[in-house]
Amino acid sequence: MARKHMAYPERVAEALEKLRGEIKGKITLSMIRGRFCAYEYKYVTAPGRPYNKAKKQFYIGWIDDQGGFHRAAHRTERTRAKNIDEYIERGLNASNEYGDALVDEVDSIILESLSKDARMPVPTIASNAGVHTGSAYYRIRSLFKRYGIRKTIEIYPKIFGFHRFIAVVKFVSPPDYSKVKRLLAAEPLIQMAAIMKGEHDLLIYMLAENIDEVEKTVYRIRSDRVFSGTSSLWEVGYLMEWHGYVPLRDEFFKLLESRVWRKSRDSPRRSKDQLLPSEYAVLRELNSDGGIEFTAIDERHGLSRGNAQHTYRRLIENKVIERATIVATKPNCRFSLFIYLKQFDIVAFNQDRQKYITYVRDDAIKSPFSKFTLVGDASAPYGEILIMPVFGHSQEGADAWLRRNVKGVEIDSSIITDYLVGYPGFRKLTYILNEE
C-alpha cells in the first residue's frame, strides 16, 4: 500500500528545501513526538549481496513550526559523525561492538537445552553439547551472568480463561514516561510495556478474560491524568501467539488467588477453572524462580514432602505449564525491532505464508536467542506482530526482507528503546507452528 507524503507547513517546507541545498544530500522529515525531525539518508548495498539494499539514516536535527533549524547534538562516538557517509563508516568500524554478545556452537546448544527445559540436569546438557560436565557448569554460569538469565516457567494463560491482547500507541506529543511506567506497572493484567521510536511510541501486552475487560482497562489507563493534554491513537486487538512468549509478572498471580479452591460447605468440590493450593504455590514459586528446589516449596508452603514435585509433573502433563524455561533480562543486543505486518490483502499474503513462516522459524545460529522473541497473529488491525533482537547489521535486514518477499501487507516498524514493564522471552528455542 503506497504511503502518502506528509504535507509540511509552509515555513517547514522552506527550511527543508534550504537544508537540501546546503547539504547536497537526500533529506527526509519525520514527525516524531511533535517535532519535524530531519534525517540524511542513503541506500547501502551489503558486501557480496548486491541485491540487498538497506536504507541508512543519520539524524541531523529538527525544524520548528517557524522554520528554524536546530542541529542535533550527538553524544555517542558513532553519531558524532558530520554526515551520512561518515556515520556509515563509523558504523562499519564498530560492527564488532556486539561480537561478545554472540555465542559459539557449544553455548548455543546449552542455551537451547535450557530453553527447552531449565531443570535439565547439567550432565545431560553437557552430553547434548559434547563437552565435559565441568565445562558445561562453567559455561552455564558465564551465560547466566553475561545475559542476566533467570529460570522461570512458560504458562499457557488460556487454561485459566485469560486471552492475550496487544495495544500499539502513537502520541502526537509524548507523556512523562516515568509516570506512565508507574501507571502501567500497577495494572496486573499488563505483562509487558515498551517505549518505541518509529511508527509507534508505546507497546502494551496484556492478558484479560474478555474484550470488555480489555476495553475497561484501556479506558481506565487513557483516562488517567498522566495522559492529560496528550493526543494519541490507540490500536487494540486480540493476539494469538504461535512463536515465543512473554514471562508473567508476579502481579498476575495475585489475580489467580481468587481461583484457589479451599474445601468448604459451600464449595465441597473444586470447579474446572479452580486451582489447588499446592498448584497455586508451585506455579507462583516456579514463575519467580524456575530453578527452586521442590523440597523448598514443600517447606515454604507446609506441603507434605514430595507434593510440590508431584504437582509440577501433573501441571506439565495437563499443559498448564508448557515447560520450565529461561529468560534473559540483559539481552545485550543493540535494540529490539518491533514489526507490524498489517494485512490488507489476505489472499496475496497466504501465497507467501509458508515462506514467511520458514523465515521466522529459521535459527539465528550465532545469536544467543531465537531470531524472533515473539510472533503472533493480531486482530485489529488484522496482521502479524514480530519482535526481533538485533545484534549486528545482518539482522537489520528483516524489515527489508519482509517488504521484498511478503505480499499483501503494509509494514510498520519501530525500535524498542526501553521496557517500562516486563520484557519478552529472550531465549534460544526452535518453534513448531501451533495453531490455538
In a domain, 318, yes or no: no
End of a domain among 93, 111, 134?
A: 93
In a domain, 123, yes or no: yes
Average pLDDT (65-82) is 74
pLDDT at position 274: 83
In a domain, 80, yes or no: yes
Write out the residue range of the structural domain in which residue 141 sits: 100-154
Are residue 146 and residue 116 in the same domain, yes or no?
A: yes
Q: What is the pTM of this model?
A: 0.75
Q: What is the CATH number of the domain that holds 104?
A: 1.10.10.10
Residue 201: which region, alpha, beta or left (left: phi > 0; alpha: psi -120 to 50)? alpha
pLDDT at position 260: 86
CA distance 187 to 191: 9
pLDDT at position 395: 47
Are residue 123 and residue 89 in the same domain, yes or no?
A: no
Average pLDDT (34-63) is 71
In a domain, 371, yes or no: no
Helix axes 277-288, 307-317, angle to 10 degrees: 80
Are residue 18 and residue 37 in the same domain, yes or no?
A: yes
Q: Is the pLDDT of residue 168 over 90?
A: yes
Are residue 61 and residue 105 in the same domain, yes or no?
A: no
> pLDDT over 70 for what percent of the chain?
87
Neighbours of 326 (CB within 10 A): 27
Q: How confident is the model at residue 2 (pLDDT cuts 50, 70, 90)?
A: very low
Q: How confident is the model at residue 259 (pLDDT cuts 50, 70, 90)?
A: confident
Alpha-carbon torsion angle 335, 341, 342, 345, nearest 10: 170
Number of domains in the chain: 2
Q: Is the pLDDT of residue 247 over 80?
A: yes
pLDDT at position 234: 92
Q: Is the pLDDT of residue 305 over 70?
A: yes
C-alpha dist (Å) from residue 50 to 47, 54, 256, 403: 7, 11, 55, 17
Q: Is the pLDDT of residue 91 over 80?
A: no
Please give the mean pLDDT across all residues of the chain. 85
Lowest mean pLDDT of 203-207, 303-307, 398-402, name the range: 398-402
pLDDT at position 4: 46
End of a domain among 40, 65, 93?
A: 93
Question: Are 252 and 190 a contacting pair, CB within 8 Å?
Answer: no
Q: Is the pLDDT of residue 164 over 90?
A: yes
Q: Is the pLDDT of residue 58 over 90?
A: no
pLDDT at position 48: 47
Average pLDDT (172-193) is 94
Average pLDDT (300-326) is 94
Are residue 70 and residue 123 in the same domain, yes or no?
A: no
Helix, strand and coil percent figures for the chain, each rounded to 5:
35, 30, 35
End of a domain among 112, 131, 154?
A: 154
In a domain, 300, yes or no: no
Average pLDDT (284-295) is 96
Are residue 14 and residue 83 in the same domain, yes or no?
A: yes
In a domain, 239, yes or no: no
Are residue 19 and residue 85 in the same domain, yes or no?
A: yes
The pLDDT tens digits of the residues spanning 315-333 come to 999 999 999 999 999 998 8
Q: Is the pLDDT of residue 80 over 90?
A: no
In a domain, 27, yes or no: yes
Burial 406-433 (b: 16+ CB within 10 A, else e): bebbbbbbbebeebbbbbbbbbbbeeee
Cis peptide before 381 (omega within 30 of 0): yes
In a domain, 26, yes or no: yes
Top-confidence residue, 117 or 45: 117
Are residue 19 and residue 84 in the same domain, yes or no?
A: yes
Q: Is the pLDDT of residue 279 over 60?
A: yes
DSSP 4: P
Average pLDDT (64-71) is 86
53: amino acid identity, one letter:
K
Are residue 23 and residue 80 in the same domain, yes or no?
A: yes
Are residue 59 and residue 76 in the same domain, yes or no?
A: yes
Average pLDDT (93-120) is 79
Top-confidence residue, 285 or 39: 285
Q: How confident is the model at residue 49 (pLDDT cuts 50, 70, 90)?
A: very low
Are residue 109 and residue 86 in the same domain, yes or no?
A: no
Average pLDDT (115-143) is 94
pLDDT at position 181: 95
DSSP-assigned beta bridge partners for residue 388: 337
The pLDDT tens digits of the residues spanning 369-417 come to 998 999 999 987 899 999 999 876 444 578 888 888 999 999 998 999 8
Average pLDDT (161-181) is 92
Are residue 18 and residue 62 in the same domain, yes or no?
A: yes
